[in-house]
Amino acid sequence: MKNLQFESPSLKGEINVPGDKSISHRSIMFGAISHGETRVTGFLKGDDCLSTIDCFRKMGVQIIEKEDEILIEGKGFEGLQEPSEVLYTGNSGTTTRLLLGILAGQPFHSVITGDESIAKRPMNRVTAPLKQMGAVIDGREDGNLTPISIRGGKLKSFHYKLPVASAQLKSALILAGLQSDEETVIVEPEKTRDHTEKMIRHFGGSIQRDGQKIIVNGNQPFTAKDVHVPGDISSAAFFLTAAAITKNSSLLLKGVGLNETRTGILDVLKKMEADFEVTQTNADEEPEGQIKINSSILKSCEIGGELIPRLIDEIPIIALLATQANGQTVIKDAEELKVKETNRIDAVVEELKKFGADIHATEDGMIINGPTLLHGAEADSRGDHRIGMMLAVAALISKGQVKINNPECISVSYPSFFNDLDAVIHQNNV
């Protein structure tokens, strides 16, 4: 349990947010399936990404962890070896789903499992199309739930329309398509984060996009290349919100990834008329920059449609942001929240109600009325890192003590979260 209580706090200073979780996962995967040594800097050494490293080591890939870099000795798709142990993915849905796409093309048998949360998360959105491509997959509920057994190889290319806008599903099918016999076509209902596509090009491969259609050619070789991982904008979102909703605050977040498929949180801050400024510092494949944000008087807004895939992981903290905005904020088209680490619609609503928030769940999102004066409460992260961080930020503006159960899950994506928070908090009664 974590006990937090603040008296009129403000946030001041600078923060370098940890490396992007999505890009960190993919840097290991593409380093492993490329030929030669890949050097990764800025890697997120959170529990989820360490699970990805562990799985590839079990498939015979040499990965060396140094203080400021990760070295991967890539062996190509054809160099992966049948693991003698179960591939344990911990709490990582990204590791689980993308690994299924890679294993679908491998001519050996493997078993994937994870923690209690992963055991409840649906996998048939990935396993069903992989079966259509020719992979032999079994598991609980016919391959919907882990543990999942997979024997791959000899994949057939196909044309597939995604039933949901999911970067994990899209990426799993792309990784399978790279090992198929000909051309695979994937159609998205909405554009999702494109780190996988960028990584393919970075490692010397090709992938085409025509509107919502993605075209993947099979049997592509990849060559090792260094990767720099920018700061995770999903992690930055918690401090952006914290500064916006606490009085007399001014924060500078440095080295933040600014991939346009991930910057939905900035669009929301703009809609809410927050006082912030973005300065891009490079124009690489994965652009990054710095964001300065100050205490703000916020206005409610509606969040939905094509914006949702660009901020799906930030919705828990956006809900807290909305409790301090003037008027009614509506979040819709976010059914995908139900199959995250928790059912994040129910979890966010139930936990914020403990603080006195005026918030209600809907079938595809939530309705929040603000501004609301929050009070202390005993709340539970439910083992979900993004819920845990949201509760810690809520403590900044709550009158009274906040007790957070299961705060250790935050290490999944932000191991230094509480240290960074302590570093920028100024309690004005001291």
CATH of the domain at 123: 3.65.10.10
Residues annotated within the binding site for phosphoenolpyruvate are 21, 93, 121, 168, 344, 386
**How sure is the predictor about 428, in pLDDT bands with cuts at 50, 70 and 90?**
low
Do 234 and 207 share a domain, yes or no?
no
Q: Is residue 224 part of a domain?
A: no
Q: Is residue 225 part of a domain?
A: no
- Upstream peptide bond of 83 is cis (omega within 30 degrees of 0): no
Residues 350 and 343: their CA atoms lie apart, in Å, by 11
Residues 52 and 91: their CA atoms lie apart, in Å, by 11
Catalytic residue chosen out of the listed positions 20, 194, 313, 384:
313
Type of residue found at 89: T
Tell whether the model's pLDDT for residue 391 goes beyond 60.
yes
Type of residue found at 226: D
Give the residue from 253, 216, 334 showing the smallest Cα distance to 12: 253
- Active site (annotated) includes residue 181: no
Between 295 and 142, name the one with better pLDDT: 295
Q: Calculate the average pLDDT of the chain.
A: 96
Burial class of residue 59 (count of CB atoms within 10 Å of its CB; 0-12, 13-18, 19+): buried
Of 54-68, 276-290, 336-350, 360-374, which range is least confident? 336-350
**pLDDT score recorded for residue 284:** 83
Mean pLDDT along residues 72-85: 97
Q: Which residues contact 296 (CB under 8 A, 6 or more apart)?
A: 244, 245, 272, 273, 274, 275, 276
- Upstream peptide bond of 9 is cis (omega within 30 degrees of 0): no
Residues annotated within the binding site are 21-22, 26, 93, 121, 166, 168, 313, 340, 344, 386
Q: Which residues pair with 241 in a beta bridge?
A: none
Of 228-232, 341-345, 346-350, which range is least confident? 341-345
Q: 248 in the Ramachandran plot: left (φ > 0), alpha (ψ -120 to 50) or beta?
A: left
Tell whether the model's pLDDT for residue 375 goes beyond 60.
yes
Q: Which residues of 341-378 are buried (b: 16+ CB within 10 A; e: fewer)?
A: bbbbbebbbebbebbbbebebeebbbbbbbbbebebbe
DSSP 226-266: -EEPPBPHHHHHHHHHHHHHSTT-EEEEEEEE--TTTTHHH
Do 196 and 325 share a domain, yes or no?
no
Domain end position, chosen among 217, 243, 266: 217
**pLDDT score recorded for residue 430:** 42
Domain count for the chain, please give it: 2
Q: Is residue 27 part of a domain?
A: yes
pLDDT tens column, 193-221: 999 999 999 999 999 999 999 999 999 99
